[in-house]
Amino acid sequence: MNYNETFSSIYNVLSTLDNEGQTAQYIPELAVIDPEKFGVSLFTNEGELFSFQDAEEKFSIQSIVKVLSLVLAYRQLGVQIWDRVGVEPSGTPFNSLVQLEYEKGIPRNPFINAGAIVVADILVGALKDPEVAFLDFLHEIIGDKSVNYSEAIAKSEKEHAFRNLALVNLMKSFGNIKNDVDRVMDFYFKICSICMTTEELVKVFSFLANEGVSPITEKGIVSQRQAKRVNALMQTCGFYDESGEFAFKVGLPGQSGVGGGILAVHPGKYTIAVWSPKLNAKGNSFLGSKFLEAFTTAIGSSIF
């Protein structure tokens, strides 16, 4: 199938709509991104890559990285990871404090900020040099070393991290953060700053569409069982308090980031990534969500 024709057709329709929302204003480095950028890539389990528009331009993947940090921590701890972070949808914004206090410092899932911070704490405790180990992990999956951190974005996030610092300190008070708070947060900001193109994203995540095995390197990244668990979490939790709507309209497991990216997986078939920086009120890419809804409808491809 020529996915590029489908991409172009959908984009031509969506480009007539008002691209609502705005870039992430609370992170200065993200606020100044050209809001009209748009890229999409799809990578099949057979190794075919399809791309459209700004698919070769790097952007900050932000919370999309939470899936990858979870995978690495899952490889380290196995099922013990679920003693410290839950697997339930939050139904609250990604940076909410309310639920966390009520549930005594155990985040609902690993994709809200509190959950991802706990995962960062796990990796800081388990790895000798977590920043290097995390990049090595990504390079292992994709088969090259083109992926890296953005020092400018990490610095920008750290300087405006008041709510995230409240989250980590609250969890520390409940005993669910084991390492030094500043060390954990420096690592968290660093991994959220990672920049990729949509082409790189679909390749890095392709193991989740292929039962845990990278179709690029043919290496097993996680077990088939673990891949199923991670995909299930993306389906129910990857879009925070908009996860149900994304499942209803798009029908694929996925994860969004406030850099404007969305990554989605069709297990057994393909991985797709869209980048459009303007966010809706829930913090997800407005045009990216619309595009994926139109795409799965046009080709009749969802997991349902």
Intra-chain end-to-end CA distance of the chain, in Å: 21
User: For residue 32, what are the domain limits?
Assistant: 3-297
Which residue, chain included where needed, has tokens 């925070």?
Answer: 240
The predicted pLDDT at position 282 comes to: 87
Position 302 in a domain: no
The predicted pLDDT at position 241 comes to: 84
Q: Evaluate if pTM is beyond 0.85.
A: yes
Strand, coil or helix: 65: helix
Angle at 283 between CA 239 and CA 65, to 5 degrees: 60
Position 303 in a domain: no
Dihedrals phi, psi of 178, to nearest 5 degrees: -95, -25
Q: CB-based contacts of 210: which residues, under 8 Å, 6+ apart?
A: 45, 268
Strand, coil or helix: 145: coil
Strand, coil or helix: 69: helix
Which residue, chain included where needed, has tokens 């809001």?
Answer: 35
The predicted pLDDT at position 91 comes to: 78
The predicted pLDDT at position 25 comes to: 80
> What's the half-sphere exposure (Cβ side, CA atoms, 13 Å) at 272?
25
The predicted pLDDT at position 118 comes to: 98
Q: Counting Cβ atoms within 10 Å, is residue 158 exposed (0-12), middle (13-18) or buried (19+)? A: middle
Q: How far apart are CA 61 and CA 197, in angstroms?
A: 9
The predicted pLDDT at position 89 comes to: 92
The predicted pLDDT at position 255 comes to: 97
CATH number at residue 186: 3.40.710.10
Distances (CA, A) of 232 to 67, 237, 243: 11, 8, 12
Give catalytic residues, as residue numbers: 63, 66, 188, 240, 258
The predicted pLDDT at position 32 comes to: 85
Q: What is the pLDDT along the chain (304 residues), one digit of tens a residue?
A: 789 999 999 999 998 887 778 888 888 888 888 989 999 999 999 999 999 999 999 999 999 999 999 999 999 898 999 999 999 998 777 888 888 988 999 999 999 999 999 999 999 999 999 999 999 999 988 887 889 999 999 999 899 889 999 999 999 999 999 999 999 999 999 999 999 999 999 999 999 999 999 999 999 999 999 999 999 999 999 998 899 999 999 999 999 999 999 999 999 999 999 999 999 988 899 999 999 999 999 999 888 8
Based on the structure, what is the number of domains in the chain? Answer: 1
Q: How far apart are CA 250 and CA 265, in angstroms?
A: 11
Q: CB-based contacts of 48: which residues, under 8 Å, 6+ apart?
A: none
Of 7, 35, 54, 10, the C-alpha closest to 279 is: 35
> Parallel, antiparallel, or unpaired for β 261-266 and 254-256?
antiparallel
Position 102 in a domain: yes
Q: CB-based contacts of 162: which residues, under 8 Å, 6+ apart?
A: none
Q: CB-based contacts of 144: which residues, under 8 Å, 6+ apart?
A: none
